[in-house]
Amino acid sequence: MRAAGIIVEYNPLHSGHLRLLEAGRAALGPDTAIVCVMSGNFVQRGDFALLRKHARARAAVESGADLVLELPLPWAVSSAEGFADGGVQALAATGLVDHLLFGSECGDAAALEHVAAALLTPDFRDRLRRELPGAVSFAAARQRALAGLVPPADAALLASPNNILGIEYCKALLRQKAPLRPVTIRREGSAHDGALAPGAHPSASGLRSLLRQGRREEALALLPPAMARAYAAEEAAGRAPVFRENSERAILARLRSMTEADFVALDQGREGLWNRLYDASRTAATLQALLEAAKTKRYALARLRRMTLWAYLGLTPADVPERMPYLRVLVASGTGCRLLAEMRTSAAAPVLTKPAQVRQLGPEARRLFAHEVRATDLYTLAYPRLEAAEGGTEWREGPVILGGPAPC
């Protein structure tokens, strides 16, 4: 069975995501199985997911995916490079996926691979070191450093967010020597993090913005049917929508109680960013005020959001495993069950179909799962209805099987 992988957040799933599923099968064959590696309850921009992971994963399978595996927390809330690295590791570890499918503004996998290869050269690293001291931002320094190694049109690919993520996927494939071929589909619709455009595929950020504004019916009308049903069911249960502001005081309390040494442990590059966050956390009365006080021209706001989220969740860069210690199943279709049967012999990492199975694994896997348990317990406290915020759900919630035997 041919299988293609997609690294996703589905926060929320929208029509552009469905187009990628359809275009992927059109390119690779209608019987191609789709394996998604999806962020859990927290996402790469340093934020809470709108809906809990099992609800989003179920909507994905009801919309055409076959198997959804969880991207473990440390990779899910990492930089674009770390996010891509974890996703590629997980897909490669299945032993079945032979294509990596993603959207991009350019729609040209060869061009993205060319840029990725250039970014991995010693020459690029030397050029970047020379550019950084006077740069307005890391992104600007990177683009200038690359300009001397590739044609201008290729260097310009770093100006578009989905191209950037596609390049990170290609870098991860090259670094890991992963046996996956990149296949990219030209992205259409509203820009990433852009406003909604009439008649175009909506962006996830635009949909979240509608829900923040209380424009529920407008947002749900733009969602695919399965995602709209998932949202309505989670909302009725008091578990949606989940926004970071619901836990704002808890996050600020955590930050104010941290020591200088705690902040130093968060600063992976040892660039002094911890000091700005520490100082801001002493006085800021809101998360927005904290981020505004700590930000600089050089560092993206998303990086600061991730650092505050890592602090809240009790994560440090030292908690990122060297390799994927397990593959955790969230939701599977009948085809997904057949993939899981094959993965019993093909997978390079243990496949978890029951939470208790992690107890039989090594200390690194158990430490990672303990982080997931704590993170989910904190996530549930952001539910709109507090009585729905039960703790310990990671130990009780297993995979959802749709259209196949249970368990599979």
Q: What is the pLDDT confidence band of residue 160, given thresholds at 50, 70 and 90?
A: very high
Cβ–Cβ < 8 Å for 41, 12: no
Distances from the Cα of 53 to the Cα of 31, 71, 110, 160, angstroms: 26, 10, 33, 28
Coil, strand or helix at 181: strand
Q: Above 90 in pLDDT, residue 406?
A: no
Per-residue model confidence (pLDDT) at position 404? 60
Place of tokens 């709209």: 228
- The DSSP secondary-structure symbol of 359 reads G
Per-residue model confidence (pLDDT) at position 298? 76
Query: pLDDT for 245-271, tens place per residue?
Result: 999 999 999 999 999 999 999 986 567
Per-residue model confidence (pLDDT) at position 197? 61
**Residue at 378: amino acid letter:** L
Above pLDDT 90, what percent of the chain?
87
- Rounded to whole angstroms, the Cα distance separating 358 from 277 reads 35
Question: For the chain, what is the largest distance between any 2 Cα atoms, rounded to a whole number of angstroms?
Answer: 60
Query: pLDDT for 43-99, tens place per residue?
Result: 999 999 999 999 999 999 999 999 999 999 999 999 999 999 999 999 999 999 999
Helix (H) or strand (E) holding 54: helix 53-62
pLDDT, the chain, mean:
94
Of 46, 74, 92, which is closest to residue 367 (Cα–Cα)? 74
Query: pLDDT for 277-289, tens place per residue?
Result: 999 999 999 999 9
- The DSSP secondary-structure symbol of 332 reads E
Per-residue model confidence (pLDDT) at position 31? 97
Q: What is the pLDDT confidence band of residue 383, given thresholds at 50, 70 and 90?
A: very high
- Rounded to whole angstroms, the Cα distance separating 390 from 386 reads 8
Strands 47-48 and 33-39, sheet pairing:
unpaired
Place of tokens 């505004």: 292
* Higher-confidence position of 6 and 271: 6
Q: Tell me the residue length of the chain.
A: 408
Helix (H) or strand (E) holding 124: helix 122-131
Coil, strand or helix at 33: strand
Q: What is the mean pLDDT of residues 307-314?
A: 97
Per-residue model confidence (pLDDT) at position 270? 63
For the chain, the C-alpha Rg in angstroms (whole number) is 21
Q: Above 70 in pLDDT, residue 189?
A: no
Q: Above 80 in pLDDT, residue 135?
A: no
CA angle 400, 405, 408 (to 5 degrees): 70
- Rounded to whole angstroms, the Cα distance separating 68 from 400 reads 10
* Higher-confidence position of 177 and 199: 177
Per-residue model confidence (pLDDT) at position 240? 98
